[in-house]
Amino acid sequence: MTSSGITTDEPSATREGEELDKAVIFDFLKANLSGIKDELEIRQFPSGFSNLTYLVKSGEREMILRRPPFGKKAKTAHDMSREYKILKALKPVYPYAPEPLLYSEDENIMGCPFYVMERIKGIILRKDLPAGFNLSPKDAGTLSENLITVLCKLHSIDYTKAGLADFGKPEGYVKRQVDGWTGRYRDAKTPDAPDFEKVMEWLQNKMPGDSGIVGIIHNDYKFDNAVLDPVNNTEIIGILDWEMATLGDPLMDLGASLAYWVEKDDPPAMQPIRQMPTNIEGMLTRKQQVNLYGELMGIKVDNFDFYYCFGLFRLAVIAQQIYYRFYNGQTKDQRFKMLIFAIKVLEETALKVIHKSDL
């Protein structure tokens, strides 16, 4: 499919309190990169709770600057370095990774570590298809196949040859994830939240252990982190947001990814929590994606009920951690008030998976 006139993902004005010093950024870039003109334009991409993302434009050259949220120091400082290092290692072996250009820990520039990378300009799908963007059922199927294909390419990289052997601790990864997210949910639980105890108990009891496959996992792999070719819209040209990437069990990555995948035939209660246009005619079902993943990876994907249930639970924990802040008055953002309903739907969905499972 080819399209024209479709708006690519664009930034907007920088939010108050998150402005950057344009003159200081200009001096840094001009001293370290070629092709920097006499004037910079800096705008900001919408972001939630992860690192802040800015478009830095000099003439025709467009770059992305990533920095930690204001007010956060040590942990996010490490995240910046880690994210930059994985992109440096990945880019030569995984063309979908953005090209990292510069990294700095110089406090005099913006008071925190940050890095700059080339922009991958294309279309990013949010909850619904953008105006002017149409996918036939055939094209929707091709696009969802490509999403799984690009994930398999990531999971198939020889991480040792790529220089990422010390990037994570794959042994015991599944247990650490189940234990860790269980603890996080209990710590963030509010009186109006579902207890998830049956789900957490089931995950502990049905834990398959490590699958024996180790790979680089993205940990937030979904349509709104994928960049589509602005001309051939079924082709994926970039994968963004690598801050949670690590070494681990790729099947856990697949389960986390498909927890976001709300199909058109899913129960009505699930439809309001859909975040991407995974419900349009022609998109692969979760089952079809699992089968395609197994075929491309040359493995038999057993126990997928476990991985999908874990993905649903993990998504609920993320939502509950945000809702906890709203419930306790740490944020006034009224959007977060509705998260409690999504959390309840995710528990109901996980319990249905458990009920139907033959594990």
Q: For residue range 24-43, what is the model confidence (pLDDT) as tens digits?
A: 999 999 999 988 887 899 99
Query: For residue 1, what pLDDT is reported?
Result: 46
Query: For residue 297, what pLDDT is reported?
Result: 97
User: What's the structural domain count of the chain?
Assistant: 2
Is position 184 within any domain? Answer: yes
Residues 146, 83, single domain; the answer is no
Give this prediction's pTM: 0.91
pLDDT > 60? residue 6: no
Is position 3 within any domain? Answer: no
Q: Which tokens sit at 241? A: 């947001």
Query: For residue 47, what pLDDT is reported?
Result: 56
Residues 109, 144, single domain; the answer is no
Residues 225-248, mean pLDDT to the nearest whole number: 94
Residues 105, 213, single domain; the answer is no
207 touches 175 (CB < 8 A):
yes
Residues 193, 288, single domain; the answer is yes
Residues 30, 150, single domain; the answer is no
CA distance 64 to 56: 6
| Residues in Cβ contact with 96 at an 8 Å cutoff, skipping those fewer than 6 apart | 150, 153, 154, 236, 237, 238, 239
pLDDT band at 331, cuts 50/70/90? confident
Query: For residue 131, what pLDDT is reported?
Result: 85
Residues 103-126, mean pLDDT to the nearest whole number: 93
pLDDT band at 132, cuts 50/70/90? confident
Residues 82, 146, single domain; the answer is no
Closest CA to 280 of 47, 1, 4: 1
Query: Which residue segment(s) compose the domain that 83 sits in?
Result: 22-118
Query: For residue 76, what pLDDT is reported?
Result: 41
Residues 68, 165, single domain; the answer is no
Task: Read off the CATH number of the domain in which 206 is found.
Answer: 3.90.1200.10
pLDDT band at 11, cuts 50/70/90? confident
Query: For residue 72, what pLDDT is reported?
Result: 47
pLDDT > 90? residue 276: yes
pLDDT > 80? residue 300: yes
% of the chain with per-residue pLDDT over 90 = 76
Is position 130 within any domain? Answer: no
Specify whether the backbone of 35 is left (phi greater than 0), alpha (psi in -120 to 50) or beta.
Answer: left
